[in-house]
């Protein structure tokens, strides 16, 4: 039996078990068995009597070019990252085309950032839920089927690997509900890292296990460049991380910048201190730390990703935690413990990252592997379940670091949606970690954001007076970081919060923000913006950090790149050209000034070294102008 025939046979068996009203739960991100869910989706297409609801989150897809020029650049990159036969999720392709059949519905609680904007079907079928409540919501929606990729080790044992996050809680809830039937199918992936902790499950955990190769390369996220703006955010946030503490971080360039700052702080402390001095912004009283990591950090994060790998290899992720509370208290007190050297240094809920990250996990030896554990988010994202005292000891000096899109002057965060309730991504676990920080005497929530953003209408402030939609309410305000510094909002009055937030806002918007607060009676009419904050400009930031850029302290890709040197030059050039396209005059100037002969490698890479016809000749000249800077 070939692989497709086997998958079709599994679908036949599934329908025999659950009937034609199918509500299938799929893991967030990496753990989806694409070919298996595609086989089920095709069956629903062929049989209108099947009612199929797919309930999931973060449906990953390979990038699609919007222009023939992008296609020429992207094609070799996509092939390197995903191969030539990556099985795209067919329900997602249909969603993007707004072509789902009437008998298929897709419900998601988290989107790939921006993927659902302007798509009415995706927006209408979004469930706003804390990550820790998703298993409950799946049961309430009547999920009767579960598909998941799993790992098997050389001893034949099974691991939920990348996605114990919701699965553990979902299966537990289904078993505890009288009469509830959840049929589950696992597909073993030969390249999926075998992870320990609660992710290890018995052979009979699933109703059916498929051992044939799923023919699905692990979805690898391309590593992104880090701007000077992002580096400054990361460095200010990095000063808030206490040696001997606990770290939770997400994904993206701001988190990468934070990790880079921590590695520099540990390995090149003098250079790190000089960079901090150049930024000329004091850390909030009683929180700042610029020392090397002698005790190290412990990772407790719903998302386990590349950043923790870099912290581990740099000798930072090394603070051990133990499952015995007496032993944990002894370790926190600096006393000797019997199991020293065998404690966990990382506990995660799901993982997703680059190909080198997956290789790192697969390469862990017998001593290292048990130190990186995976669990359900019910354990990672909160302090419930009877283990609170132990987990507070384990997560001491916690810094739960997340990103947001906007912050209001009074400390509410906008992280997942827009003013018209269009969902950009989702709540995920951000609320969980912010609330948990407030539940711990020595825990702090840190929200990072850029002070401004660029769009076709110009530059806008990400620090605003108010916004109709909030992800984190202002009564949970805590530490906020932009490229211009850190503001400590916890326990402060509204006026003190407003003053602190204006102090880390871009100078171009400070007066307007202050005036709005004064009109609302929330800021003393005689208050003026501090003189130091008047220098909160991109130009001042670049002047301060340019010596470090020249010395290679702030490289574009500090942890390596999935792009060639030529591609690294082309990507920002095409982005610049896209910006120029908003003005016909700017495009005309570029076409007149560009010198294609100066950039033979770059133009050859996208097939414009010998342009065919007038259009390609014009593009060759415009790209040359963009490459020139």
Average pLDDT over residues 446-458: 92
What was the pLDDT predicted at 386? 87
Q: What pLDDT, in 10s, does the model give residues 301-317?
A: 999 999 999 999 999 99
Residues 345 and 373: their CA atoms lie apart, in Å, by 8
Q: How many CB atoms within 10 Å of residue 412?
A: 21
What was the pLDDT predicted at 316? 98
What was the pLDDT predicted at 581? 81
The first and second tokens of residue 448, run together, are: 């990072």
Among residues 229, 311, 252, the alpha carbon closest in space to that of 549 is found at: 229
Q: Which residue ranges form the domains of the chain, and what is each CATH number?
A: 3-210 (3.40.1080.10), 228-538 (3.40.1080.20), 565-628 (no CATH)
- Mapped onto helix, strand or coil, the DSSP state of residue 56 is strand
Q: Please spell the DSSP secondary structure of 423-478, one letter per residue.
A: BSS--TTHHHHHHHHHHSTT-EEEEE--SEEEETTEEEESEES--S--SB-GGG--
What was the pLDDT predicted at 271? 96
Separation of first and last alpha carbons in the chain: 57
Q: Which residues are bridge partners to 423 per DSSP?
A: 417
- Mapped onto helix, strand or coil, the DSSP state of residue 300 is strand
Q: How would residue 627 be classed by pLDDT, with cut points 50, 70 and 90?
A: very high
The first and second tokens of residue 91, run together, are: 């329900």
Average pLDDT over residues 241-250: 96
What was the pLDDT predicted at 570? 95
Average pLDDT over residues 72-79: 94
Q: What pLDDT, in 10s, does the model give residues 585-599?
A: 888 899 899 999 999
Residue 97: Cβ-neighbour burial (10 angstroms; 0-12, 13-18, 19+): exposed
Average pLDDT over residues 490-501: 98
Among residues 420, 422, 404, the alpha carbon closest in space to that of 412 is found at: 404
Residues 260 and 553: their CA atoms lie apart, in Å, by 10
- In the numeric block, the tokens 């001593």 are attached to 367
What was the pLDDT predicted at 268? 97
Strands 406-408 and 463-464, bridge-based pairing: parallel
Average pLDDT over residues 83-98: 95
Q: Which residues are bridge partners to 303 per DSSP?
A: 350
Contact 606, 74 (CB under 8 A): no
- Mapped onto helix, strand or coil, the DSSP state of residue 155 is coil
More confident residue, 2 or 541: 541
Q: How would residue 535 be classed by pLDDT, with cut points 50, 70 and 90?
A: very high
Name every residue whose Cβ is closer than 8 Å to that of residue 351 and which is 6 or more positions away in sequence.
30, 161, 162, 195, 303, 304, 305, 357, 361, 374
* 446, pLDDT greater than 70: yes
What was the pLDDT predicted at 580? 82
Residues 621 and 629: their CA atoms lie apart, in Å, by 13
What percent of the chain has a predicted confidence (pLDDT) above 90?
92
What was the pLDDT predicted at 412? 98
- Mapped onto helix, strand or coil, the DSSP state of residue 109 is coil
Name every residue whose Cβ is closer than 8 Å to that of residue 392 and which is 6 or more positions away in sequence.
383, 440
Q: How would residue 419 be classed by pLDDT, with cut points 50, 70 and 90?
A: very high
* 430, pLDDT greater than 70: yes
For residue 556, report the phi and psi dihedrals to the nearest 5 degrees: -60, -40
What was the pLDDT predicted at 456? 76
Name every residue whose Cβ is closer than 8 Å to that of residue 395 and which is 6 or more positions away in sequence.
246, 298, 300, 440, 443
Name every residue whose Cβ is closer than 8 Å to that of residue 109 and which is 6 or more positions away in sequence.
57, 126, 127, 128, 129, 134, 137, 426, 427
Q: What pLDDT, in 10s, does the model give residues 573-586?
A: 998 898 888 788 88
* 616, pLDDT greater than 80: yes
Q: What is the average pLDDT score of the chain?
A: 95
Residues 173 and 560: their CA atoms lie apart, in Å, by 42
Average pLDDT over residues 287-293: 90
* 384, pLDDT greater than 90: no
Lay out the sheet containing 406-408: strands in order across. 413-414, 406-408, 463-464
What was the pLDDT predicted at 3? 86
The pTM is what?
A: 0.95
Compute the Cα dihedral for 165, 189, 310, 253 and give only its sign: negative
Average pLDDT over residues 614-623: 93
Residues 222 and 74: their CA atoms lie apart, in Å, by 12
Q: How would residue 1 be classed by pLDDT, with cut points 50, 70 and 90?
A: low
Average pLDDT over residues 394-406: 97
Average pLDDT over residues 97-116: 96
Contact 266, 213 (CB under 8 A): no
Among residues 30, 22, 209, 48, the alpha carbon closest in space to that of 106 is found at: 22
> Residue 344 gets which letter from DSSP?
B
Among residues 472, 500, 468, 474, the alpha carbon closest in space to that of 486 is found at: 500
What was the pLDDT predicted at 2? 64
Name every residue whose Cβ is closer than 8 Å to that of residue 168 and which is 6 or more positions away in sequence.
160, 198, 375, 376, 378
Contact 240, 288 (CB under 8 A): yes
* 353, pLDDT greater than 80: yes
């Amino acid at each position: 039996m070939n692989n497709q025939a086997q998958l079709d046979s599994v679908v036949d068996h599934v329908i025999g078990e659950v009937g034609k009203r199918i509500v299938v739960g799929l893991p967030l991100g990496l753990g989806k068995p694409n070919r298996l869910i595609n086989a089920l989706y095709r069956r629903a297409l062929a049989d209108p009597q099947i009612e199929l609801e797919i309930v999931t989150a973060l449906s990953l897809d390979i990038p699609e070019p919007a222009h023939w020029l992008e296609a020429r650049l992207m094609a070799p990159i996509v092939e390197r990252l995903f191969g030539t036969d990556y099985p795209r999720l067919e329900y997602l392709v249909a969603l993007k085309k707004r072509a789902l059949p009437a008998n298929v519905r897709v419900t998601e609680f988290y989107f790939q950032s921006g993927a659902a904007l302007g798509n009415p079907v995706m927006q209408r079928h979004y469930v706003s839920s804390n990550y820790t409540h998703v298993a409950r919501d799946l049961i309430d929606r009547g999920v009767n089927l579960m598909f998941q990729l799993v790992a098997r080790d050389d001893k034949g044992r099974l691991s939920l690997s990348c996605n114990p996050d919701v699965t553990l809680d979902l299966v537990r809830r289904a078993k505890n509900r009288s009469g509830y039937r959840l049929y589950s199918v696992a597909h073993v992936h030969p390249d999926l890292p075998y992870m320990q902790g609660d992710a290890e499950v018995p052979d009979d955990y699933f109703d059916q296990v498929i051992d044939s190769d799923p023919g699905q390369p692990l979805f690898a996220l391309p590593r992104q460049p880090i701007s000077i703006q992002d580096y400054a955010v990361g460095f200010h946030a990095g000063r808030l991380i206490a040696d001997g503490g606990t770290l939770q971080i997400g994904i993206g360039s701001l988190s990468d910048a934070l990790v880079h700052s921590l590695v520099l702080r540990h390995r090149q402390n003098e250079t790190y201190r000089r960079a901090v001095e150049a930024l000329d912004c004091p850390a909030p009283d009683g929180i700042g730390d610029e020392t090397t990591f002698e005790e190290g950090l412990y990772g407790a994060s719903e998302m386990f990703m590349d950043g923790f790998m870099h912290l581990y290899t740099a000798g930072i992720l090394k603070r051990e935690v133990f499952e015995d509370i007496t032993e944990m208290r002894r370790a926190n007190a600096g006393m000797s413990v019997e199991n020293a050297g065998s404690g966990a240094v990382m506990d995660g809920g799901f993982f997703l990252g680059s190909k080198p990250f997956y290789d790192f996990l697969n390469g862990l030896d017998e001593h290292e592997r048990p130190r990186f554990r995976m669990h359900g988010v019910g354990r990672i994202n909160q302090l419930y379940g009877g283990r609170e005292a132990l987990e507070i000891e384990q997560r001491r000096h916690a810094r739960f670091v997340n990103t947001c899109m906007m912050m209001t002057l009074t400390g509410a965060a906008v992280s997942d949606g827009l003013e018209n309730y269009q969902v950009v991504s989702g709540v995920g676990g951000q609320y969980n970690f912010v609330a948990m920080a407030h539940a711990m005497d020595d825990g702090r929530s840190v929200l990072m954001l850029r002070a401004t953003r660029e769009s076709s209408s110009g530059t806008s402030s990400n620090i605003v007076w108010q916004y109709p939609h909030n992800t984190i309410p202002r009564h949970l305000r805590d530490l906020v970081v932009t490229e211009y510094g850190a503001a400590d909002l916890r326990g402060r009055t509204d006026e003190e919060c407003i003053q602190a937030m204006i102090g880390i806002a871009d100078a171009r918007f400070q007066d307007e923000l202050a005036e709005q607060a004064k009109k609302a009676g929330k800021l003393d009419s005689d208050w003026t913006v501090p003189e130091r904050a008047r220098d909160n400009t991109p130009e001042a930031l670049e002047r301060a950090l340019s010596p470090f850029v020249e010395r290679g302290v702030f490289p574009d890709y500090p942890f390596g790149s999935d792009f060639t040197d030529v591609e690294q030059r082309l990507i920002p050039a095409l982005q610049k050209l896209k910006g120029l396209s908003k003005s016909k005059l700017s495009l005309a100037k570029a076409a007149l000034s560009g010198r294609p002969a100066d950039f033979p490698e770059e133009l050859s890479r996208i097939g414009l070294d010998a342009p065919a016809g007038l259009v390609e000749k014009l593009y060759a000249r415009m790209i040359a102008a963009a490459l020139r800077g």
